[in-house]
Structure 1
Amino acid sequence: MTAGLGGRLALVTGAGRGIGAAVVTALVEEGARVVATDLAADGVEALAGRYGDRVTARPLDVTDATAVRTLVDEVEDGLGPLDIAVNIAGILRPSDVVDLTDEDWAATFAVNTTGVFHVSRAAARHMAGRGSGCVVTVASNAAGVPRAGLSAYAASKAAAVMFTKCLGLELAGRGVRCNTVSPGSTLTDMQRALWPDGDETAAARRVIDGDPAAYRTGIPLGRIAEPADIADAVVFLASDRARHITMHDLYVDGGATLRA
C-alpha cells in the first residue's frame, strides 16, 4: 500500500543531503511535488536535476523570518496550495556545557528551534485558512533522553517537539495535523561528524553496542538507521493513512532510548 500523495505539494527544509534528501526522494516517489530548500544550493539543485519539474530547488535560510514568509507566499501563489511542510534543517555543535560558547548555543536554537517556528508559522497561516494540511518536524531522540556533549542540540530539539505539539493542538480544529519524527543515530554526515577519525566500522559498532561510560544505551535492533528509514516515517505522517494522528512524537531509533 502506498502513501498516495499524488497531487500534493510539499515544502522540505534542509533538503540538500542526508535525511532531507531522502525525504524529498520518498515524497516524489509517492507522487508529490516538492519545493526542496537548503542554505546551500548545490544539494537541492542536484535533486531538481534528477526529478525535473517534480522538484523545485530554492535556497533558504530558516533563521530569516522574512525570507521564509516570502518563499512560502511565493510557493502558494506560483505552485499551488501547500499541503505538507517538513522541518528538517538542523545543525549540531557538540560541546560540554562548561565549554559551550554563547555563539554555538544561539546558532543551534536559531536553526533547530526558531527555524521550525518560522517555517511552521508561515505554512500554518495558509493551511489553517483552507482547513487542511500537515506539518512534520524531524527532531531527535536526544530530545527525550539526556546526552553528554549534546546539551544545546538536545534542548533545541526538545523545544521543537513541544512547539510542534502546541501548534498541533491549536490547529486541530482547523483540520491541520502536526507531528514530529524523532530519529536516533542515522547514517548521515552529522552522525559521522561525531565519530573520531579512523575506523568507521568500529565507531558504528560502538553506537550499536552502547557506551556505559557515556551513559548511552545501544540499539536493540542492532543497526544504525538509514536516512530512508526516517523518510518513510515522515511520508506516513504526511499521508492520509495518518489522518487521525496529530501531536504525536514518533521515535525511529531501533529502540535505543527504551522510551525512557
Structure 2
Amino acid sequence: MEITGINGKVALVTGAAQGIGEAVARALAREGAVVAACDQKEAELISLTADLCGSGVQAAAYKTDVSCSAEVEVMIERIEEELGPIEILVNVAGVLRIGGVESLGDEDWQAHFNVNTNGVFYTSRSVVRRMASRNSGAIVTVSSNASKVPRAQMSAYAASKAASTMFTKCLGLEYARHHIRCNVVSPGSTDTGMQRLLWKDDQGTGPIIEGALDSYRVGIPLGRIALPSDIADAVIFLVSDRARHMTMQDVCVDGGATLGC
C-alpha cells in the first residue's frame, strides 16, 4: 500500500543531526517531505541538509535550542516564512545522563526536563497553534520505553519521557477537533550514540539483549536492538494517511523488551 499524506508537506524534525532524528529526517525526505531540520549541532545539521538537497529534496537547517521557548518561536516563524506551513512535527531531541538518584545533581535533573519535556512542550505549542488555524496536522513525539517501566540509573530520563508522553496524549485530545493527530513512538534500545553510553564494555549489545537480573532488565525477546530506521518507519506510518484514524496512541518499538506494557 502506497504511503500518502507526506509528499510536499513541510515537516519539522527536532534532534535531526544524528541518531533517530537523522533517520526520521531522511525517511521523511524519501517520502517527498520538505524537511526543516532542527538541532544544536550546527555542523552535522548543515551536512545532513546539504546531503538531502543534493539528492533533490528541499531541506533547510535551523540551529535551535529547543529548551529555550524564545528560540523555538523564532525558529517556527522562520520555517513558516521560508518553507511554508508546518504540517508535520516530529519531536526527537533528547538527552540522557545516567546515574543513581543520590548521584543526580539539580542540573542533571533539570537538563532532562529542559530538553525531553520542555522542548516537546515549547515546540508542540508553537506548531499546534498554527496547525489549528488550518485544521490539519500530525505530531509525533519520540519518547522511550523507559516511560513505561522503571529503569535503574535512569530515573530523570524515564520521568522526563513519561511527562512528554502524557503531554502529547493530552495535546491530541485538545486538538482532535482541529483534525490534528498527536501520537507517540517509544523506542527501546536503539543503535545510537545515546545507546552506546549504556554499554559497559566492548561486549556491546550482548548484555542488553540478554538482560540483567541485577538491574531487573528482562532482555529483548526478538534478540536484537533496533536500528534508527526501525523507529523512523513507525514515525512515517503515524504521520501518513495510513494512520489517519489514530491519535493519542503510544507505539512501542522495543523488540518486546517491556513485554507489551
TM-score range, shorter chain: over 0.9
Which residue identity does 2:234 align to in structure 1?
A
C-alpha displacement at 1:71, in angstroms?
1.0
Equivalence map 1:76-115=2 (5 Å)? 76-115=80-119
RMSD (CA atoms): 0.9
Query: Which position in structure 1 is the counterpart of 2:234?
Result: 233
Q: Secondary structure at the match of 2:181?
A: strand
Given that 2:34 and 2:83 are in contact with CA atoms closer than 8 Å, whether structure 1 keeps it comes out as no
Equivalence map 1:129-148=2 (5 Å)? 129-148=133-152
Equivalence map 1:31-50=2 (5 Å)? 31-50=32-51
Query: Which position in structure 1 is the counterpart of 2:176?
Result: 172
Alpha-carbon separation, structure 2, partners of 1:220 and 1:185: 12
1:60-91 deviations in whole A, cap 9, x for unaligned?
Answer: 10011011111111211221111101100000
Query: Which position in structure 2 is the counterpart of 1:73?
Result: 77
Query: Which position in structure 1 is the counterpart of 2:244?
Result: 243
Query: Which position in structure 1 is the counterpart of 2:191?
Result: 187
Q: Secondary structure at the match of 2:168?
A: helix
Between 52-61 and 90-99, report the one with greater CA deviation: 52-61
Alpha-carbon separation, structure 2, partners of 1:57 and 1:76: 13
Taking structure 2 as the reference length, the TM-score comes to 0.97
Alpha-carbon separation, structure 2, partners of 1:144 and 1:38: 26
Alpha-carbon separation, structure 1, partners of 2:104 and 2:166: 24
Alpha-carbon separation, structure 1, partners of 2:60 and 2:142: 21
Taking structure 1 as the reference length, the TM-score comes to 0.97
Query: Which position in structure 2 is the counterpart of 1:3?
Result: 3
Query: Which position in structure 2 is the counterpart of 1:257?
Result: 258
1:82-133 deviations in whole A, cap 9, x for unaligned?
Answer: 1101100000011100111001000110000000000000000000110000
Tell me the matched-pair count: 257
Between 34-43 and 181-190, report the one with greater CA deviation: 34-43
Query: Which position in structure 2 is the counterpart of 1:210?
Result: 211
Alpha-carbon separation, structure 2, partners of 1:91 and 1:258: 25
Given that 1:2 and 1:30 are in contact with CA atoms closer than 8 Å, whether structure 2 keeps it comes out as no
Q: Find runs of 4+ consecutive structure 1 residues off by over 4 angstroms.
A: none
Aligned identity (percent) is 55
